[in-house]
C-alpha cells in the first residue's frame, strides 16, 4: 500500500476520531487538540519506514495536560543495534516549538536536529507532516545518519 493510500485509510477508518472541538461561550473559535491528532497520525507515517532502518517505537510521551490540553508529545524510536534514538516531537502549545525531529547518540551524549517546522507553518489538515515525511526519507544525509554511517551535523530538512 503506498504512502497516500495509507494516509487516506487513516482518515477513512470508521474508528478514526475527529479532533475534539472545544467551543466556549465567549469565543466562536474552535480549538483542535493538535497533540492527540499528531499521536494518531504520526506513527502510521513514520513507524513502518523507520522499521526498515532498524528503529522501533519505544515510547510515546505526552505532556501532562494544562488547562485540559497536552502541550507536547515525543515519539521515541530506538535502534538497539546502532544505539541511536530518534525523537519525533510535536510541541504546538505554550512553547510553539512546532514539529521537530532529533537524532540522539547516547554513547556520545550528542543530539542533532534533523528537522523543524515552526508552529506557525502548520496547517489544520497536517499537510506539512506529509511533506516532511517525504523529504525526510528522500534525504541522503538523513539516511546516512539513520544507518549509523556518519555522525555529523547536517542541513535541516526544510518545509517549503
Q: Which three cell numbers stand for residue 19?
A: 479532533
Q: What pTM, to 2 d.p., does this model score?
A: 0.75
Q: What is the pLDDT of residues 17-57, one digit of tens each?
A: 444 333 344 444 445 677 888 889 999 999 999 999 999 99
129 half-sphere exposure, CB direction, 13 A CA radius: 24
Q: What is the pLDDT of residues 103-142, one digit of tens each?
A: 999 999 999 999 988 877 777 777 888 889 999 999 999 9
Q: What is the pLDDT of residues 66-88, one digit of tens each?
A: 666 676 889 999 999 999 999 99
H/E stretch holding 101: strand 98-105
Phi and psi, residue 52, nearest 5°? -60, -25
How far is it, in rounded angstroms, from Cα 89 to Cα 74? 4
Best CA proximity match to 110, nearest among 72, 60, 150, 140: 150
Amino acid at each position: 500500500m503506498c504512502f497516500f493510500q495509507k494516509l487516506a485509510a487513516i482518515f477513512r477508518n470508521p474508528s478514526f476520531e475527529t479532533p475534539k472541538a472545544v467551543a466556549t461561550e465567549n469565543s466562536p473559535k474552535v480549538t483542535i487538540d493538535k497533540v492527540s491528532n499528531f499521536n494518531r497520525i504520526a506513527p502510521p507515517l513514520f513507524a513502518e519506514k523507520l522499521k526498515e532502518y532498524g528503529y522501533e517505537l519505544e515510547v510515546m510521551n505526552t505532556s501532562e495536560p494544562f488547562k485540559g490540553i497536552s502541550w507536547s508529545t515525543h515519539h521515541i524510536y530506538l535502534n538497539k543495534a546502532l544505539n541511536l534514538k530518534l525523537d519525533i516531537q510535536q510541541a504546538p502549545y505554550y512553547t510553539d516549538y512546532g514539529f521537530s525531529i532529533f537524532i540522539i547518540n547516547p554513547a556520545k551524549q550528542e543530539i542533532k536536529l534533523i528537522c523543524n517546522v515552526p508552529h506557525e507553518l502548520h496547517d489544520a489538515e497536517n499537510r506539512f507532516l506529509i511533506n516532511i515525511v517525504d523529504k525526510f526519507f528522500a534525504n541522503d544525509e538523513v539516511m546516512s545518519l539513520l544507518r549509523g554511517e556518519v555522525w555529523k551535523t547536517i542541513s535541516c530538512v526544510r518545509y517549503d
